[in-house]
Amino acid sequence: MLRENGSKDAWTESSAAETGDFVNVLRRQGMLREEEYPQGRLPVPETQGTTILAFKFADGVLVAGDRRATAGNIVMYDRTDKVFEVDRHSVMAIAGSFGTAWETARTLQHSFQFYRRSQLQEMSLEGKVRALAKLLRDNLGMVLQGVGVVVPLFATYDTASSDPAKVFFYDAMGAHFEATDFAASGSGGPAVRSILYYENAWGPRPLRQLDQKGAITVALRALDTAAEADTATGGVDRLGKIFPIVKILNEAGVTTVPHDELAALFQTGASA
């Protein structure tokens, strides 16, 4: 609105600058109370899962994960299952936001099942790997907000391949890479990778030459060592008799190693 002298009305000028933003009007008048938060978001307490590993050995692929779930400095649960069977020859291990990771694993499981029943055949290896990558990319919006980050491992036994044991690791945006011998993820991942590298390069035998008992022993030692430096990793709870989840993939399918066998092998390894 113009006055008779040609100047703009003060109220009209102010409202034009505000462009109808009511929240901005309240902010300028000091009537809106705001808190500052990191990354411009409200703090959301997330339950996180760590640490996971996978490596190839003489009889197939071993995938393992500790049992601890944390929210900040709080231990939420010490009997968490972080290794999921998604089909008869495939396993997904999860690290990161537990709620998002759990939903991702279940969605992947149903996707494989739907494909198998609708196409009357198994999904190809490339299809399985990319299906998980797509789920991670679809979660990118949450990642950019600082919540819901998932960095999984995917292992499968591809019976159609001359080298059937396969291990893949991912980043939070869905980029995927095939591991030559081993992979690890989660907050204890760096320690686990160092241990597996040492065992593979300088141990009595390379990882691929280990039998099942030897492979399980190495996995238990790696997770227990990682727990010494990382409070988010449960390792082996000797007092509570809680052991990691360990699954074996081979031509016969996926097998979960029983608790009693884990306890016996860990005790033998500790006294060796």
Distance CA 166, CA 174 (A): 17
The pLDDT of residue 182 is 98
Single-letter amino acid code for the residue at 209? Q
For residue 14, is it within any domain?
A: no
Looking up residue 106, the CATH number of its domain turns out to be 3.60.20.10
**Would you please indicate which residues are annotated as catalytic (active-site) residues?**
50
Residue 19 lies in a domain: no
Cis peptide before 12 (omega within 30 of 0): no
- The pLDDT, as a whole number, for residue 11 is 45
| Ranges of H-type helices in 61-208 | 98-119, 125-138, 140-144, 189-202
Q: Please say whether the beta carbons of 232 and 188 come within 8 A.
A: yes
Q: How confident is the model at residue 40, as a pLDDT?
A: 52
Number of domains in the chain: 1
Range of the domain at 257: 48-271
Listed as ranges, residues in the chain with pLDDT below 50 are 1-4, 6, 8-13, 15-18, 271
